[in-house]
Amino acid sequence: MGRRRVTLADVAKATGVSTTTVSLVLAGRGAELRISDDVQRRVRSTAQELGYRRNTLSVGLRTGHTQTIGFVSDTVASSLLAGNMIKGAMEAAHQRGFMLFCGESGGDPDVERALVEAMHDRRVDGIIFAAMYTRTVAVPEGLDDGPAVLLNALPAAYSPVPSVLPDEVEAGRAAARILVDAGHREGVHLVGAGPGLDDVPPNSIAARERLIGMLQVFEAAGVEVVSAHQCPKWMPEDGYDATREILRHHRPRALVCLNDRLAFGAYQALAEAALSVPDDVSVVSYDDHPIASWVRPRLTTIALPHHELGAKAVEVLFAASERRRRTKSAPVVHRVPMSVQLGESVRTVPAPSR
């Protein structure tokens, strides 16, 4: 247990060469600096034999590169989202031999700054700053002291840091298209946001962009949205309340819920009113939260590509580290497509005969 690790010097001594040689060989620069094949073989073999592993701290101190990325998020716990984003990032990082430092701020700007500093202290090669729901964020001071990426977030003020986000507008179009293609023309209601583009939860990019996409398609198809209900929290209870409110005045034929938890609440309200999904009311929602596949009938939902988002962030970060050496260009926004998850919550409406 407490036994000393094998160092470069140990390998050098055991092979009978200098540490320089060992270092070069193991870095794959042996040929370049004309170390003979024989020596290379011997070095590799003794290194293997002694179980040599390079000390990342030492390398980091010398070269400035630590094979490490910092991942700072506001909240990992309250949503599955975080887990899969982190997972995507970890896998992408691990493929390149990188590890992830994880930190959670709870949304506190002081903690955010402290985390970013602590990561720079540990000389991370870059930082991913992630939000758990798609929104605008204040970029913490010091974030752009090194390569950085915003994940699932846009900077509130101007910032040179690039962003990686789901393509919410297209997701909005996709959701609307599902209803339009299924023949729905009337009795369409929105649960969670609208009717105006500003009737959204604070800082929510997702809500606004989904609305934009939906309204484009509905308008083009001549579908009128009967009512829309803004909900600040997007939890099941809010969906339940909003749906009850709708049922008080209308007989809806289709609900678009701005996420699956709202849809879950809507299901409850519909069940209470003895309305069946999808025979009486079609339901479409967003996120592909696990609950979407647990309810009966399963929800048709536009999936947040958490895993891809995380992986993409790492990719962009690497690209940024490269570019940084050459030139600084304008900040970029990368959009990751959202896919349709088909459930059984949408009914095909027979086209009205003209």
Partner DNA sequence: CACCTGCGCTAAATCGTGTTAGCTTCCCAG
Partner DNA sequence: CTGGGAAGCTAACACGATTTAGCGCAGGTG
Element (H, E) at 173: helix 168-181
The helix or strand, by DSSP H or E, that contains position 22, with its residue range, turns out to be helix 19-26
List 145, 186, 219, 224, residue binding a copy of itself (CB under 8 A): 145
17 binds, among DNA, a copy of itself, none (CB under 5 to 8 A by kind): DNA
Residue 101 lies near a copy of itself (rule: CB under 8 A): yes
- What is the torsional sign of CA 72, 78, 83, 85? negative
Binding flags for DNA, 48-67, as an x/- string (CB under 7 A): ----xxxx--xx-xxx----
CA angle, residues 67, 69, 72, in degrees to nearest 5: 165
Three-class SS state of 201: coil
Rounded to whole angstroms, the Cα distance separating 45 from 337 reads: 47
Beta bridge partners of 148: 127
Please list, in sequence order, all residues whose beta carbon lies within 8 angstroms of the beta carbon of residue 223, skipping any fewer than 6 positions away: 176, 179, 180, 184, 185, 186, 188
Residue 101: which of DNA, a copy of itself, none does it interact with, CB under 5 to 8 A by kind? Answer: a copy of itself
# chain residues binding a copy of itself, by CB under 8 A: 53
Q: How many residues does the chain have?
A: 354
Question: Which region among 99-107, 133-141, 165-173, 224-232 touches a copy of itself (by CB under 8 A)?
Answer: 99-107
CA distance 130 to 90: 13
Q: Which of 29, 41, 94, 233 binds a copy of itself (CB under 8 A)?
A: 94
Residue 17 engages DNA in binding (rule: CB under 7 A): yes
Strands 300-303 and 339-341, bridge-based pairing: antiparallel
Which residue among 34, 248, 325, 354 contacts DNA (CB under 7 A)?
34
CB of 45 to a copy of itself, least distance (A): 20
From the CB of 1, what's the least distance to a copy of itself, in Å?
A: 6
Note whether 23 binds a copy of itself by CB under 8 A. no
- What secondary structure does DSSP assign to 115-150, as a single string? HHHHHHHTT-SEEEEEEEEEEEEPPPTTGGGS-EEE
Residue pointed to by tokens 């094949």: 37
User: Considering the rule CB under 8 A, would residue 1 count as an interface residue with a copy of itself?
Assistant: yes
User: Does position 279 bind a copy of itself by CB under 8 A?
Assistant: no
Identify residue 287 by its one-letter amino acid code: D
AA letter at 37: D
Chain contacts with a copy of itself (rule: CB under 8 A): 1-2, 53-58, 60-61, 66, 68, 71, 76-77, 80, 82-84, 86-87, 90-91, 94, 97, 99-104, 115, 117-123, 144-146, 235-236, 261, 264-265, 268, 271, 291, 294, 296, 324
Chain contacts with DNA (rule: CB under 7 A): 4-5, 7-9, 16-21, 23-24, 26-27, 33-36, 38-39, 52-55, 58-59, 61-63
